[in-house]
C-alpha cells in the first residue's frame, strides 16, 4: 500500500514503490492516479511487473496516486473485482480506496448496508467502507470518512484518493504498519519504509494509531479517530512479513530478527557444528543465533533464484524419487554435521518436517530445530493468514509430540518474554498469547 | 547442460535439472529426447519456466534426453537458431548436440568447412562440430566424434545424443566442470552436481579432462581423447559462477567461498563495525570474513526477490532522484557504521562504485571494499564473459587509483597465493595471472 | 445478449451463441452461470475467442447462464468494469444482469441514486438498474424488477439471472430485437435468431414490446410492463447491424436487404456494366439491385479474410503510396467498366469517398453510388453509434454537393417510402425521418 | 512469397504483401531483409499479424527483402525450423531463400548430399537447394544457382536474397504463379498480383516458365533455365487457391470462377428456386451459375466472420445436438426451396455431405450439388494438399454412388472440356485427368 501527493511522476514512483512492497501480496495489484481533474486506474491479477506495462504507465498521468498489492487470506476474495484500489465515480467526483487488514464487523456492516439497498460487486471490506462514506450525510469528505471509520472494528490501514485529497487512516489499535515520508516537496505514505528507500524518499514519521492524515495542495493536517489509541503492532511483521531493510516503529527488521536469534541462543543453546537458516526470512535470526554461540553460520539450504515463477510440478512418483525444486540441502555443508536449523515461526509444522528430512537425507547427523518466535497457538483475526486453531500444531500438541512428528533431534522456541525483551512493548502478540487487543467477532 | 540415459521420464527430469542449472545461462533453453526410434526437441529463447509447458513436456516422450541453458557472451550468438541442443536429421538417424565453452579455432574451422561446401544456419560452435562429425569417413559414431574433437582447440564440454547413444566429452585441459551420476539404473551427466541433488540422483564421479564417455543400452564405456590431459578447472566457477550447493572437483562451492573470505580476512583484516556481502554470490565469502575477524555479519544490502523479472526501467531523471530497484542499502544496519563490504570479484568496478555510494547515502561512516579473489587483469578465451583488457579496470589502474575512482575508504584483494591455498592446484587462473593453459588464437 | 435456462451445458452453449452474435459487439464479453446454488462469472475485454479458454469454460458449471458481447458507443464506457453481465452478490443471493440499448434518463437516474447514497463502479446503465432493483421495497424479485423498469426511458433489452430465475425484458417501444427459443426442454433467449441456429435450438417467438418473461424451474410466465406497447424495431438492424441469416420480426435479414436492393433498382436504375457491393453487409442489396436490372453482379471489391486482427498500420507515407489493407478493388473486374456501387447506408461519406477513389484508381470508367437506405440525417438516441447531426453529411449537404465531395458520377438513395414498402410498418426510422418513438432527453 | 528490391521500407511493404497473400499459407511466416551490408530475419509459426510486431518490424531495416507464408502439406514439415525464408550465413556473405511447390526428387537429392557430408536442420526442400548452391564450384552466384536448379525435378518458384542480389526462379513447366511488378523505382515479385495492388505497385508481367530473374543495383536481367519451357499453370489456383482479385496469366480469378459457373450452367442446368454458393471461394461460380440460368442468387449459407480464430470445439454430444460454428444455413432463404448448391471442387465429399445436410435441416426441399470443376481423381505431386487416390471419393465411386453418399438430390460436375474452354490452354489439370506435365517420382 503506497500513496503519493504532489509529484509529476506520481504513477511511476508508485510502481517502483509497489515493486518494493511486492512481498506483502502477490495476488494482484493496482494503481489509481489523478491529475486534479480526472482519475483513472489500472489493475489486474498478478505481480507488479506483470500488470503494468510501459504503455499502461504512460497513460496513468497525474500528480497524485495510490497503489496496492493484494494479499488474500485463505484464497477467498480472489478475482479481478477484488483487486484494489477500488474506484468509484460519481457526478461530484471520484473516490479511490485501498486497505490492508481485516474488519471484524465487515460482514455485519455489509448486511446492514444491503438492507438499506446497497449493492456489492466485490467481497472487499474496501467496498463496505466506500458505501459508508457515500451514505454519510455530512458535508465534507473528511467528516464522511471519520463517520465511516467510527463504525469499523478490527485492523485496518486505509488510503483514499480523490481529485482534491489524499487521506490515510490507521486503526486506533495500530495493528498495521504505516509510515509517512517526503520526496522533495511531495508527500509519500507506505506500508513499509523500504518503499521510501527505493524511490529516494526520506522517512518522516510513523502514522500514529487512530490517526487520520489529510494531504492536499493546501498542505497536510492530522486528526484523531479515537480518544484512546494504543500501539499494538503485529509481531509477525518483525518475524517474517516485513522486508529486512524496513524499519518498523523505529526498529530495523533485519536487526530485530538477528536479536531474536541471539535471544534464542541465550535461552536455548544447542550443541551443533553448524547453524543454518531457512531462506529467506529466517537467515537474520540464524546469523544472530550463530554469532551468539560462536558456531559457524553456513548456507545449509539453497533456494532457487528462479522459484516464484510458474513451473511444471513434479508428479507424485517423481516427488517420491526425490525431485525437489524450491529448496535444496547442501550436502557439502551438512554431511556428517550436527545442524542447528533456525526457522522464524512455527504454524503447521510442515516446513519443519520437510526441511528436517531434507537435511537428514543430505547426511546431517543431528538436526535441532530452533524457532525464533514463540509457538503460534491462536488464530489471527487482523489480516495475517495463519490458520484456524485446529491446524495450528502447537495449539494441540506438546513439544515432545511435535519433535517426534517432525523427526528433529530437538525443538526449541523463543519465549514470549524473550520476544518482548527484544522488540519492546506496543506489540500485538495475540497469535502467541491469545490476548487480543480488540473485542472479537461473534461467531 | 544435462543428459540422462535410461529413464522413462527422461524429459521431465531434464526439465528439473535445467531448472537447477538456470543460473548458468538465461538466454535460451532446449531439450531433445529420444525413445530409441525417434528424436524430437523443443527449444526457445527465455527461461526454463517460460519455454516448456505441461503440454510441450508431455510431447517429449522418451528414455534419454539432453538439455541446455544458453549463456551468451557479449550478446553475440543471440537468436532462436543458436539455442541448443541443435538437432540434425538424416536418413540414417538423428544427432543432437549441445556444448558449453568456447572453441579457439571455431572461426577457422568454420571457414575451412565453408570452403568444402558446408552451409551454416547458426553461429554456434556446436554446428561446426556437427559438420566435422558428419564429414568424417570413419564408420562408427564414436570414431567420428573422436576425429572431430581432435580438431578442436579451446574449452568445451559436449553432450551428444542419438537414438542409440549418449556421448559426453570434456576438453583435455578440463576447463569446464562436468559430473557423472546415477539415478537408479539410469545414468546422468550434469555441468554441476546441484542438478543431481534436485532430481534425487547420486554423484558418481567427475568426468576427467580429455575423457569421452559413451552410454548406451549396452552400458557405459570411457576413452581418452588426449595423451596428456591435465585439470585446469576455471577458478571463476568457484568465485561466482556455480551454485553454492554444488561440489566442484570434490569441494563444496559455498564452503570454498567462505574459505576464500576467511583467507581474505587473514590477509587483509580491516577495522569495521559490520561485515556485509553483495547478494547473492558474495554472501558466503562475507560470512567467512566476518567469522574469521569476529565482526558481526549483517544484511547491509537487500536484493529484491522479484528482480529478474522484466520491469519498467526508471528514466534517467528518476534514477537521478534515487530510484533504485535491484539492490537497497539497509539504513537501519549501516547508518553510522564502518562497513566491510565483501564482493566476490572485480571486473569493471561499476558494481563496487555503485554499492559504495549506496552504502554511504544510507549513512555508512566508512566503506572498505574487500574482494575475495585477485583482480581480473586478463581476458577469458574459454567462455566466461569477462571483458577485453581495455575494460578491465585492474588491468590499467593501480589500486590507489581504483580506490579513489570507487569512492571507498580502502580496497583489498585476495592474493593469487591465497586463492591457491584455499582451492588447491588444478585451476585455470588465467584471468588473474595471464598464464593460459592452452595456446591462444592468432588475432 | 443470450440467456439459457435448464441445460446441463449452459455455459458452453452460451459461448457458442455469443460467438454467433459477435458481430453485435467486439469490445468485451462475459458469461455468468448458476447451478442453482452459486453464481460465477468470467468476462474480459476482447472477442469471445480471446476471453474464454477451455479451462475457464470448464469452471463455469451450471444449468443456467446469461452472456453478453459489448458494443461501445463513441468509445465511452470502455474498460473491464463495464463489460457485462455485471454480477452483484449479497447475503440473500446474487444478481447478474446485462442489457443492450441506451437509457435516455440513465444520467438522471444515476444522479438521483447518488443523492441517496449509491456508489458506482461502472458507467453502465445496467448498474443503474441493479441499484433500482435492490432499492425497491417490494417483496418479490419480479415486482422489484417491474418497479425498476417502470422508471426507465429509452431503448432496452435486459437479461437478469439469479440462482432461481432468468428474466428477460424488452422496452415498451420494442426498439431492440429479442427472441425466445427452445432447445429440448431448455429455454433460450437471444438478441438474434442466428444464435438459435448455431446451437441447434428452435425459434419459438419474438419477445413482445413491453414484455417481461420470467423463466424458472416452475416454467415460464409473461407479464406486461406497459399498457400501450408498440413495435418500433430499429430499421438499421435490417440495414447493416444484424446477421444475414437471422430473422427479425419474421423477416430474413438477407432477404430484406436483397429486397431493399431490388426496390432501389426500381427507384433508381442506372446504366452500368457491373454491379458490386461493399463487403460484407451490402452484398445482399447489391445482388438484389443487379438481379432486378439484369446487370452482371461482380466481386469488384475484396475484403481481406484476415482483417479484424491487429496489424501494424501503414505510416502516412506508405498510405500515400497506396498501401491499403482492408479492402481492395479488383482491377480485373472494374477496369474500363461503368460500376454501380451499392452500399447499405450513408453516414459521414468517408467510406463512399474512399471506395469510389479505389474503384477509379483500379480503372473504373464511371462509379455510381447507390445507397440501399435513405440518407441518415438525425442522431440515434437508442444505442446505435451513428453520430451527432453535425457529422452526418446528409444532414447538412444537398445530394449534388455530396456527389461532388465523394467524387462519384452519381449518387442515389432509397426513399423512405421504398424502405417501408419492403420492411413494412412497426419500424423505428428516426435516423432517417427525425420521428422518434419516445420523448427525448432534455439536453 | 514476395520479394522487393530497392525501396527504403522494404520490410514494411513485404509485411503488407504477405498479409494479402495470407490465404496461401497460415502455418508460419518469415521476412529476411538486407541493407546491402547485413542481413537479418524474423520468422515464426502463425499468421503474419501474430508473428510481426511494431518492434520487430522496426528492427528489420533495409532496402531489399523476401518474405514467405507457409503452407504445409499433410501436416509434415511443421515446426519453427521449417518456416521460411531460411537464412544461411558464411564468411563471404549471407543467403536467404524461400520457395513454394514440391520437389519430386527432393528426398533423393537429400540422400546424395548426406552421403557427401551435408547435415540438415530442416525437412525443407529449400535447405536442399541451399546445399546444392553452396557446393557448386562455379564462381558467380548466378551460375551456382543455375547449376543447382538444373538438378531439380518438380514444381517450384524460388526467391533468393543476398546482400547484392534478389533472384527469382520458376520451374520450366511453370506450375506455380509468379509475377513481376514495379513500385516506383523498386522491383517487386509476388506469387499473386493481389500483393501488388495492396502496396500500390503496378503489375509488369508474369515470370515465364523456366525463367531466372536477377535484380541488383545494376538493374534487372533474365536467363532461361530450360530449352523447352512450357506453361502448365495449376488449374486449382483458379478453382480455389488464389484470391479473387488476383490475375493469373492475364485472367482475373473472380471472373474465371464466374465463367466456370456459367459454363457449368450451360452444361448442367438444374431446376431450382435459388442458387447458393459455399463461402468464400465458391461464391463467384455460384453467381455465374445463377446469372446464366436467371435463377435468383441467394445467401443460403453464412460463414462466421470470426472463424479462423481459435475457439473451443464443441464436444461430440453438443455437435450431435446441432452446435455448428463455421457455417450456418439461412433458414429464411432456403426453407421450402429447391436449392442449387455450387461448390468449387470435390475431394473427399465431406463438405458436400455436411452442407447438404445443413440445408435440408434448414428446410430445403431439394439440394442439387453443382461442382464448378471436374472430379479430382488423381493426387497432386506439385505442392497442393489434395490427397492420395484412396481418399479421393471420385477416384473410387460412380457419380450415382456419390450422390447417394452425400444425400443430395443430384450431383453434377463441370467437364474437363468445359474447364478448358473457360481457362484456355497452358494448364496443369493432372488432378482431374492424370496427365502429369513432368515425369513422376519412383515410389
Residue C397 above 70 pLDDT?
yes
Residue B407 above 60 pLDDT?
yes
C140 and C78 in one domain? yes
The verdict on a CB contact (< 8 Å) between C19 and D306 is yes
The verdict on a CB contact (< 8 Å) between B91 and D110 is yes
The verdict on a CB contact (< 8 Å) between B120 and D80 is no
Mean pLDDT of B251-278: 97
Judging contacts by C-beta atoms under 8 Å, the chain B residues touching residue A334 are none
Mean pLDDT of chain A: 92
Assigned domain for D30 exists: yes
Report yes or no: A105 and A441 within 8 Å, Cβ to Cβ: yes
Interface test with A, best of B322, B335, B359, B362 (most A CBs within 10 A): B322
B164 and B46 in one domain? yes
A208 and A293 in one domain? no
Judging contacts by C-beta atoms under 8 Å, the chain C residues touching residue D284 are 299
Q: For residue D318, what pLDDT band results from cuts at 50, 70 and 90?
A: confident
Degrees to nearest 5, angle at CA C148 with C147 and C153? 110
Task: Return the C-alpha cell found at A183.
Answer: 520526496
The verdict on a CB contact (< 8 Å) between D86 and B110 is no
- DSSP string for residues in C143-167: HHHHHHHTT--EEEEEEEE-SSEEE
The verdict on a CB contact (< 8 Å) between B117 and D131 is yes
Chains A and C physically touch (3 or more Cβ atom pairs below 8 Å): yes
Judging contacts by C-beta atoms under 8 Å, the chain B residues touching residue A53 are 312
Q: Closest chain D residue to C255 measured between Cα atoms?
A: D333
Report yes or no: D69 and D21 within 8 Å, Cβ to Cβ: yes
Size of interface A-C (CB pairs under 8 A): 55
DSSP-derived secondary structure letter, D120 = B
Q: For residue B304, what pLDDT band results from cuts at 50, 70 and 90?
A: confident
Assigned domain for B248 exists: no
Q: Map residue D77 onto helix, strand or coil.
A: coil
Q: Given CB atoms, is D86 within the 8 Å cutoff of chain B? A: yes
Q: Closest chain A residue to B16 measured between Cα atoms?
A: A325
* Exposed/middle/buried for residue C50 (C-beta within 10 Å: 0-12, 13-18, 19+): middle
Mean pLDDT of C125-134: 94
Mean pLDDT of chain C: 92
**Given a contact as 3+ CB pairs under 8 Å, which chains touch B?**
A, D
Task: Give the minimum alpha-carbon distance from D89 to chain B in angstroms, rounded to a whole number.
Answer: 6
Q: For residue A311, what pLDDT band results from cuts at 50, 70 and 90?
A: low
Interface test with B, best of A331, A339, A361 (most B CBs within 10 A): A331
pLDDT of residue A308: 59
Total domains in chain D come to 2
Beta strands C233-234 and C427-428, pairing class: parallel
- Final residue of a structural domain among B199, B231, B263: B231
Tell me which residues of chain C, numbers 401 to 430, contact chain D at a CB-CB cutoff of 8 Å.
Answer: none
Q: Which residues, 6+ apart, have CB-to-CB distance to D80 below 8 Å?
A: B80, D28, D43, D44, D45
Q: Whole-prediction pTM value?
A: 0.88
Mean pLDDT of C247-275: 97
Assigned domain for C126 exists: yes
Separation CA D173–CA D343 (nearest Å): 28
Q: Taking the CA of residue A209 as centre, how many other CA atoms within 13 Å lie in the half-sphere pointing to its CB?
A: 20
D119 and D221 in one domain? yes
Judging contacts by C-beta atoms under 8 Å, the chain D residues touching residue B80 are 80
ipTM at complex level: 0.90
Interface test with D, best of B88, B109, B114, B117 (most D CBs within 10 A): B117
pLDDT tens-digit profile of A374-429? 999 998 988 876 656 667 888 889 999 999 999 999 999 999 999 999 999 899 99
Report yes or no: C253 and C191 within 8 Å, Cβ to Cβ: no
pLDDT tens-digit profile of A230-262? 999 999 999 999 999 999 999 999 999 999 999
Task: Give the minimum alpha-carbon distance from B159 to chain D in angstroms, rounded to a whole number.
Answer: 18
Q: Map residue D144 onto helix, strand or coil.
A: helix
Residue D74 above 70 pLDDT?
no
Residue A91 above 90 pLDDT?
no
pLDDT of residue C388: 62
Q: Count, in order, helices (H) and strands (E) of chain D.
A: 17, 23
B162 and B14 in one domain? yes
**Given a contact as 3+ CB pairs under 8 Å, which chains touch C?**
A, D
Chains B and C physically touch (3 or more Cβ atom pairs below 8 Å): no
Express as a percent the part of chain C with pLDDT over 90: 77
Judging contacts by C-beta atoms under 8 Å, the chain B residues touching residue A321 are 183-184, 199-200
C72 and C170 in one domain? yes
pLDDT of residue A30: 97
The verdict on a CB contact (< 8 Å) between B120 and D88 is yes
pLDDT of residue B388: 62
C191 and C338 in one domain? no
pLDDT tens-digit profile of B317-363? 777 777 777 888 999 999 999 999 999 999 888 889 999 999 999 99
pLDDT of residue C442: 66
Mean pLDDT of C134-159: 93
The verdict on a CB contact (< 8 Å) between D121 and B90 is no
**Given a contact as 3+ CB pairs under 8 Å, which chains touch A?**
B, C
Task: Give the minimum alpha-carbon distance from B31 to chain D in angstroms, rounded to a whole number.
Answer: 15
pLDDT tens-digit profile of D161-202? 999 999 999 999 999 999 999 999 999 999 999 999 999 999
Assigned domain for C379 exists: yes
Beta strands A274-277 and A338-343, pairing class: parallel
Q: Which range in C228-232, C286-290, D384-388 is most confidently predicted, on average pLDDT?
A: C286-290
A26 and A88 in one domain? yes
Q: Closest chain B residue to A308 measured between Cα atoms?
A: B306
Separation CA A367–CA C236 (nearest Å): 79
Q: Given CB atoms, is D48 within the 8 Å cutoff of chain C? A: yes
C329 and C213 in one domain? no
Q: Given CB atoms, is D42 within the 8 Å cutoff of chain B? A: no
Assigned domain for C121 exists: yes
Q: Given CB atoms, is B94 within the 8 Å cutoff of chain D? A: no
Mean pLDDT of chain B: 92
Assigned domain for D208 exists: yes
pLDDT tens-digit profile of D106-137? 999 999 999 998 999 998 999 999 999 999 98
The verdict on a CB contact (< 8 Å) between D119 and B92 is no
D265 and D126 in one domain? no
Of B90, B116, B123, the CB nearest to D89: B123
pLDDT tens-digit profile of B367-386? 999 999 999 999 898 887 66
Question: A319 or D211: whose pLDDT is higher?
Answer: D211
Residue C343 above 70 pLDDT?
yes
Mean pLDDT of chain D: 92
User: Can you say how many angstroms the Cα of residue D110 is from the centroid of all Cα atoms in its chain?
Assistant: 25
Tell me which residues of chain B, numbers 351 to 380, contact chain A at a CB-CB cutoff of 8 Å.
Answer: 362
Assigned domain for C440 exists: no
pLDDT of residue C331: 92
Helix, strand, coil percentages for chain C (3-state, nearest 5) = 35, 25, 40
Residue D264 above 70 pLDDT?
yes
The sign one gets for the Cα dihedral B387, B389, B393, B399 is: positive
Of C47, C194, C325, the CB nearest to D19: C325
Assigned domain for D311 exists: no
Q: Given CB atoms, is C279 within the 8 Å cutoff of chain D? A: no
**Given a contact as 3+ CB pairs under 8 Å, which chains touch D?**
B, C
pLDDT of residue D320: 73
Separation CA D385–CA D383 (nearest Å): 6
pLDDT of residue A307: 64
Residue A309 above 60 pLDDT?
no
pLDDT of residue D324: 75
Indicate the angle between helix axes D106-115 and D125-135, nearest 10 degrees. 50
pLDDT tens-digit profile of C195-226? 999 999 999 999 999 999 999 999 999 999 98
A225 and A113 in one domain? yes
B219 and B267 in one domain? no
Q: For residue D75, what pLDDT band results from cuts at 50, 70 and 90?
A: low
Q: Closest chain C residue to A41 measured between Cα atoms?
A: C79
Express as a percent the part of chain D with pLDDT over 90: 76
Domain assignment of residue B55, given as a range: 2-231
- Final residue of a structural domain among A231, A262, A292: A231
- Final residue of a structural domain among D231, D247, D268: D231
Interface test with D, best of C60, C181, C331, C362 (most D CBs within 10 A): C331
Residue D391 above 70 pLDDT?
yes
pLDDT tens-digit profile of D300-313? 999 887 765 566 77
Q: For residue C71, what pLDDT band results from cuts at 50, 70 and 90?
A: confident
The verdict on a CB contact (< 8 Å) between C134 and A111 is no
The verdict on a CB contact (< 8 Å) between B254 and A199 is no
Report yes or no: C74 and C385 within 8 Å, Cβ to Cβ: yes
Separation CA D138–CA D144 (nearest Å): 6
Judging contacts by C-beta atoms under 8 Å, the chain B residues touching residue A258 are 298
Tell me which residues of chain C, numbers 295 to 324, contact chain D at a CB-CB cutoff of 8 Å.
Answer: 296-299, 302, 304-306, 308-312, 314-315, 318, 321-324
Q: What is the CATH number of the domain that holds D360?
A: 3.40.50.2020
Judging contacts by C-beta atoms under 8 Å, the chain B residues touching residue A310 are 49
pLDDT of residue A32: 97
pLDDT of residue C322: 72
Report yes or no: B263 and B239 within 8 Å, Cβ to Cβ: no
Q: Taking the CA of residue C175 as centre, how many other CA atoms within 13 Å lie in the half-sphere pointing to its CB?
A: 25
Mean pLDDT of C37-47: 92
Q: What is the CATH number of the domain that holds B117?
A: 3.60.20.10
pLDDT tens-digit profile of A340-369? 999 999 988 888 999 999 999 999 999 999
The verdict on a CB contact (< 8 Å) between A328 and B200 is no
The verdict on a CB contact (< 8 Å) between C121 and A87 is yes
Amino acid at each position: 500500500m503506497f500513496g503519493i501527493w504532489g509529484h509529476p511522476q506520481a504513477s511511476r514512483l508508485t510502481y517502483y514503490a509497489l515493486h518494493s512492497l511486492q512481498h506483502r501480496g502477490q495476488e494482484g495489484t493496482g494503481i489509481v492516479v489523478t491529475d486534479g481533474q480526472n482519475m483513472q486506474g489500472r489493475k489486474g491479477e498478478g505481480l507488479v511487473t506483470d500488470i503494468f506495462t510501459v504503455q499502461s504507465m504512460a497513460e496513468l498521468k497525474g500528480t497524485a496516486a495510490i497503489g496496492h498489492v493484494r494479499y488474500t487470506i485463505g484464497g477467498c476474495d480472489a478475482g479481478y473485482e477484488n483487486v484494489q484500489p477500488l474506484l468509484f465515480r460519481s457526478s461530484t467526483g471520484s473516490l479511490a480506496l485501498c486497505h490492508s487488514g481485516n474488519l471484524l464487523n465487515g460482514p455485519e456492516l455489509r448486511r446492514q448496508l444491503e438492507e438499506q439497498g446497497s449493492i456489492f460487486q466485490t467481497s472487499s471490506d474496501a467496498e463496505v467502507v466506500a458505501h459508508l462514506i457515500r451514505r454519510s450525510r455530512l458535508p465534507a469528505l473528511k467528516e464522511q470518512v471519520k463517520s465511516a471509520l467510527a463504525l469499523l472494528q478490527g485492523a485496518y490501514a486505509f488510503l483514499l484518493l480523490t481529485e482534491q485529497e489524499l487521506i490515510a487512516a490507521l486503526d486506533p489499535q495500530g495493528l498495521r504498519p504505516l509510515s509517512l515520508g517526503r520526496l522533495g516537496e511531495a508527500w509519500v505514505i507506505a506500508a513499509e519504509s523500504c518503499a521510501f528507500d527505493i524511490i529516494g524518499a526520506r522517512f518522516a514519521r510513523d502514522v500514529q494509531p487512530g490517526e487520520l492524515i489529510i494531504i492536499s495542495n493546501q498542505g497536510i493536517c492530522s486528526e484523531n479517530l479515537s480518544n484512546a489509541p494504543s500501539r499494538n503492532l503485529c509481531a509477525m511483521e518483525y518475524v517474517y512479513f516485513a522486508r529486512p531493510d524496513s524499519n518498523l516503529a523505529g526498529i530495523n527488521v533485519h536487526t530485530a530478527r538477528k536479536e531474536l536469534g541471539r535471544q534464542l541462543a541465550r535461552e536455548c543453546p544447542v550443541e551443533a557444528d553448524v547453524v543454518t537458516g531457512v531462506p529467506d526470512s529466517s537467515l537474520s535470526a540464524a546469523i544472530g543465533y550463530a554469532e551468539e554461540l560462536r558456531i559457524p553460520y553456513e548456507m545449509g539450504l539453497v533456494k532457487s533464484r528462479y522459484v516464484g515463477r510458474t513451473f511444471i510440478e513434479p508428479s507424485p512418483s517423481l516427488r517420491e524419487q526425490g525431485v525437489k525444486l524450491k529448496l535444496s540441502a547442501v550436502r557439502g555443508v551438512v554431511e556428517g554435521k550436527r545442524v542447528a536449523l533456525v526457522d522464524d515461526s512455527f504454524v503447521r509444522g510442515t516446513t519443519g518436517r520437510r526441511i528436517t528430512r531434507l537435511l537428514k537425507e543430505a547426511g546431517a547427523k543431528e538436526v535441532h530445530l530452533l524457532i525464533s518466535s514463540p509457538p503460534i497457538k491462536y488464530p489471527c483475526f487482523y489480516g495475517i493468514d495463519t490458520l484456524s486453531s485446529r491446524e495450528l500444531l502447537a495449539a494441540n500438541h506438546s513439544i515432545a509430540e511435535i519433535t517426534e512428528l517432525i523427526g528433529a533431534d530437538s525443538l526449541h522456541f523463543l519465549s514470549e518474554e524473550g520476544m518482548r525483551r527484544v522488540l519492546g512493548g506496543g506489540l500485538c502478540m495475540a497469535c502467541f498469547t491469545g490476548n487480543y487487543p480488540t473485542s472479537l467477532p461473534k461467531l
